[in-house]
Amino acid sequence: MCQCPQIYFDPILAARVAKLDRVDVRYNTSLDAFTADADGVSATLTDSTTGRKRDVRAKYLVGCDGASSMAREALGIALIGEGAIANSVNIFFRSPALATLHDKGWARIYRPIDAAGCWSELIPIDGRELWRLTVFDDPVYERDPDAALLRMAGFEFPHEIISTLLWERRDSVAERYGVGRVLLAGDSAHQSSPTGGAGMHTGMEEAVNLAWKLQAVFEGWGGPRLIDSYEAERKPIADRNIELSTHTYRALRSIPAVADVDTKTEWKTTALPRYSIPDHVRSCPTFVDSPICVDDGSPLLDRAPATPITSTRPGARAPHAWLAPGRSTLDLLGDGLVLFRFADAPDTAPLREAASARGVPLQEITVRDSAIAALYEKKLVLVRPDFHVAWRGDNVPTDCLAIIDTVRGAS
């Protein structure tokens, strides 16, 4: 695992987006109001640096505007869940010396444990001098961050406080993922404890899921039910991920205390206790009952969250396999539909002709590697632009138009 903190990730993303002709990036801009009708959305934006207002007309509005989402509140969509579960404090600081003051070496996360148990986590940001200490549930440290660093280390050490931030650790999912042409994604649709890292991943998966569907609609091959499938596919995943995040957070908080340690001479190491994950949270994050995946009746996938998915059951993420050095099966995905065809598969002309008749972009890839064929389980596997399997089988469907219409959200 290699982390990419936001202070590095955002500039990379911004540089990439700046090269896209169809994207207009506007910083320091707020969404003030919007109205939606059957044909699109009209919105009013304000540039906070100049005060200038601008009216925009679009076919859709996607509210990625955070936990206090104006878009969600304007739609009157409620949040379901426990709500605030802790008042946490982020302390961002600089200390080149800190890494030399203990014998644990570099780690992805350090979890300070004292007589009160596990009360915080320490994350190295740049592997040199930038750090973030997150206090789980004690807002007093917003006013006295130096005291938190003293408690964390057990002694004074040279440092510079860059910023402190008090924030609510939440457990909530939007009751709906949108209304009509106004949709929600990211923290506007759900808020989770960042413990476990599921929040950002959930939001990014929503963006990918929604993006290809909007593109299909704009290009004319996406049917009227395609956008509707967004909530059906992604909300159950968010429900699971947010519950898993809260469960993980509370498991960390339950780590027992470590007492009788001379913190001036010793940083004691303790083993994390084992904890169980509820069965309903263990369930594989695949799309169940998706209206645009063709269920083949095979058993649902059950797994522990850390175990990779290696199945092409419709709704699951297509497996990775190396086709050649540096070239994965996943590298072929992303633009339109991809039909993997393995050895001894029947002629797929009827399926390709059905896609062509509906204007659906479809690329056929023939794979002759027997190991990859075994991994993909069926002779024919149809994969969507978001890497999820839409249909699979050993024979060409009797009604290929019906399959294509289902996948493109037209039936």
Tens of pLDDT along 314-363?
Answer: 999 999 999 999 999 999 999 999 999 998 999 999 999 999 999 999 99
pLDDT tens by residue, 30-45: 999 999 999 999 999 9
Rounded average pLDDT over 116-140:
95
| Contacts of residue 348, Cβ cutoff 8 Å, sequence gap at least 6 | 339, 341, 364, 380, 396
Please give the domain boundaries of the chain with CATH numbers for all domains.
26-80+171-253 (3.50.50.60), 81-170 (3.30.9.10), 292-407 (3.40.30.120)
Angle at which helices 349-357 and 400-407 cross, to 10°: 50
Q: What is the pLDDT of residues 163-180, one digit of tens each?
A: 999 999 999 999 999 999
Judge whether residue 9 has pLDDT over 60.
Answer: yes
Model confidence over 62-109: pLDDT tens digits? 999 999 999 999 999 999 999 999 999 999 999 999 999 988 888 989
CA 96 to mean position of chain CA atoms: 32
What is the pLDDT confidence band of residue 277, given thresholds at 50, 70 and 90?
low
User: Using CA of residue 191, residue 40, residue 179, residue 212, what is the dihedral sign?
Assistant: negative
- Arithmetic mean of pLDDT, 271-297: 76
pLDDT of residue 308: 65
How confident is the model at residue 104, as a pLDDT? 86
Measured CA distances, 228 to 29, 181, 212, 292 (Å): 29, 10, 13, 10
Find where tokens 């939001």 sit. 203
Looking at residue 159, its pLDDT comes to: 98
Decide: residue 103, CB within 10 A, 0-12 exposed, 13-18 middle, 19+ buried.
Answer: exposed
Rounded CA separation 294/316 (Å):
12
- Report the chain's mean pLDDT, rounded to a whole number: 91
Residue 275 has pLDDT above 90, yes or no: no
Angle, CA of 206, 305 and 168, to the nearest 5°? 60
| 206 neighbors 200 (Cβ within 8 angstroms) | no
Write the CA distances from 159 to 144, 154, 254, integer angstroms: 14, 14, 30
Backbone angles phi, psi at 397, to 5 degrees: -60, 150
What SS3 class is residue 293? coil
Alpha-carbon distance of 68 to 344, in angstroms, equals 54
H helical segments located in 49-195: 70-75, 145-153
- pTM for the model: 0.90
pLDDT 10s digits, 204-248: 999 999 999 999 999 999 999 999 999 999 999 999 999 989 998
Give the chain's length.
411
